[in-house]
């Protein structure tokens, strides 16, 4: 069924002038609404209809880590909605001279509608920084410095990666037909070997933090010691129980893959390693970082058998589980000698992973739209009535 603005009626959406920093801070209705708006905007764009929603305004992006998909998804989303884009380069800004977060947040926000931030390098700091920015622009709005309070959107932090996991959920909804159809489906969120270290925890944490709300059978698996943030794991347990789903934690990739409908093999650094790494980064301890990397790569190398192989895929439900990845994947024999996934498996699902990524700009557009439009249904109806073709 094609989404329409009417499908939003009956949903309690309270996103206007709000930030989106963790998916589990938002209601089921709001998650459903985000997906519906993303699907509608995607359909309009595919049909050649302009989704321009702003006559003016600026979107600010702050990327404190490298990015391809999220960076360009944010840029294309805000451009499609009619906003200009400016990336804050902290090296070239007065931040390099000691400008405070409170000051920077206000100075970049005079005509801004949204601030997208990626800050996943420091455990205990990334999401906190986003909240500091949100608090600063709220104060600026309340004190009359800013005419409008821009919303802050998490483009990946140390805890969650909302735009990725919401895009993943949109992909699953499309693949299985509806959110209701996901109930009881088994998704294996597993660690997988990578010849690199220091990969964020936010994707696996985001997956277990969102999919457990869908009544799914969520199987988290990693080698002993490759733990996630304990509070996030505990939340996943509680959410699964509340939604009537299942959440299990094991140290067996085979156990997680057995009978799975979806597999998501992805490398991450252990929580305790990221804590050490954060301390060393803050101290500027280069020798310490080098030694930590050496130790972690040696530990990773003990688990090269944690790979998404053809043999493991055969143990999934009917041998046809949907393979997912946030990309870029470490592909054995392609991007590295040995990695997260066998080349034949990845190639078979390559286009599907591209389609998975293709939901992200529309999810971001939906987040911007819903946090900036006080009357989103009326605005969507106006866009559809206007039916302006894209140039």
Q: Which residues pair with 336 in a beta bridge?
A: 332
- The predicted pLDDT at position 384 comes to 87
User: How far is Cα 12 from Cα 62, in angstroms, rounded to an integer?
Assistant: 30
Burial label, 98 (beta-carbon count in 10 A; 0-12, 13-18, 19+): exposed
Cα dihedral: 3, 9, 14, 17 (round 10): 60
At the topology level, CATH places domain 5-160+360-386 in Rossmann fold (3.40.50)
- The predicted pLDDT at position 92 comes to 60
How many CB atoms neighbour CB 70 within 10 A? 25
How many CB atoms neighbour CB 9 within 10 A? 8
User: How far is Cα 182 from Cα 293, in angstroms, rounded to an integer?
Assistant: 39
- The predicted pLDDT at position 30 comes to 97
Task: For residue 20, give the DSSP letter.
Answer: B
- The predicted pLDDT at position 178 comes to 96
The 10s digit of each residue's pLDDT in 274-298 is: 999 999 988 999 999 999 999 999 9
**In Å, how far are 72, 221, 224, 232, 315 from 340, measured between CA atoms?**
25, 14, 17, 24, 17
In which residue ranges of the chain is CATH 3.40.50.1370 found?
5-160+360-386, 164-357
- The predicted pLDDT at position 90 comes to 76
Residues in the chain: 391
Q: Give me 31's structure tokens.
A: 């998650």
Q: Give me 196's structure tokens.
A: 């690199």
Residues of the chain with pLDDT under 50: none
Q: Which residues contact 59 (CB under 8 A, 6 or more apart)?
A: 74, 78, 83, 84, 85, 86, 112, 113, 114, 115, 116, 368
How many CB atoms neighbour CB 28 within 10 A? 13
- The predicted pLDDT at position 56 comes to 95
User: How far is Cα 10 from Cα 6, in angstroms, rounded to an integer?
Assistant: 9
- The predicted pLDDT at position 390 comes to 65
Q: Report the candidate in 166, 141, 163, 162 with the shortest Cα–Cα distance to residue 151.
A: 141
* 3-state helix/strand/coil string of 251-271: CCHHHHHCCCCEEEECCCCCH
Hunting for tokens 């650094």 — which residue is that?
269
Strands 262-265 and 217-221: unpaired
pTM (2 d.p.):
0.95
At the topology level, CATH places domain 164-357 in Rossmann fold (3.40.50)
């Amino acid at each position: 069924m094609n989404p329409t603005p009417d499908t939003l009626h009956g949903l309690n959406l309270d996103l206007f002038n709000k930030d989106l920093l963790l998916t589990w801070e938002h209601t089921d209705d709001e998650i459903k609404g985000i997906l519906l708006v993303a699907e509608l905007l995607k359909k309009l764009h595919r049909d050649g209809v302009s989704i321009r929603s702003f006559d003016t305004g600026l979107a600010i992006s702050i990327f404190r880590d490298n990015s391809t998909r999220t960076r360009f998804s944010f840029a294309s989303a805000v451009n499609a909605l009619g906003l200009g884009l400016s990336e804050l380069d902290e090296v070239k800004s007065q931040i390099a001279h000691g400008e405070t977060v409170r000051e920077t947040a206000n100075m970049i926000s005079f005509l801004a509608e949204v601030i997208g931030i990626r800050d996943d390098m420091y455990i205990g700091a990334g999401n906190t920084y986003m909240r500091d920015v949100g608090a600063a622009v709220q104060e600026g709005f309340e004190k009359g410095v800013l005419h409008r309070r821009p919303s802050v959107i998490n483009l990946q932090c140390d805890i969650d990666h909302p735009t990725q996991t919401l895009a993943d959920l949109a992909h699953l909804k499309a693949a299985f037909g509806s959110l209701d159809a996901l109930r009881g489906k088994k998704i294996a969120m597993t660690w997988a070997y990578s010849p690199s270290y220091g990969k964020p925890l936010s994707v696996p944490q985001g997956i277990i933090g969102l999919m457990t709300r869908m009544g799914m059978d969520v199987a988290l698996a990693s080698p002993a010691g490759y733990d996630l943030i304990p509070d996030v794991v505990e939340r996943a347990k509680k959410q699964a129980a509340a939604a009537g789903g299942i959440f299990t934690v094991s140290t067996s990739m085979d156990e997680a893959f057995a009978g799975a409908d979806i597999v998501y093999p992805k490398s991450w650094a252990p929580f305790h390693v990221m804590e050490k790494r954060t301390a060393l980064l803050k101290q500027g301890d280069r020798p310490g970082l080098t030694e930590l990397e050496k130790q972690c790569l040696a530990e990773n190398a003990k688990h090269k058998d944690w790979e998404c192989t053809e043999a493991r895929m055969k143990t999934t439900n009917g041998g046809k589980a949907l393979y997912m990845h946030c990309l870029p994947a470490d592909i054995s024999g392609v991007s590295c000698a040995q990695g997260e996934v066998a080349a034949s498996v990845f190639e078979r699902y390559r286009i599907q992973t591209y389609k998975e990524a293709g939901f992200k700009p529309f999810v971001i557009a939906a987040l911007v739209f819903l946090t900036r439009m006080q009357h989103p249904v009326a605005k969507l109806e106006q866009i559809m009535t206007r039916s302006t073709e894209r140039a």
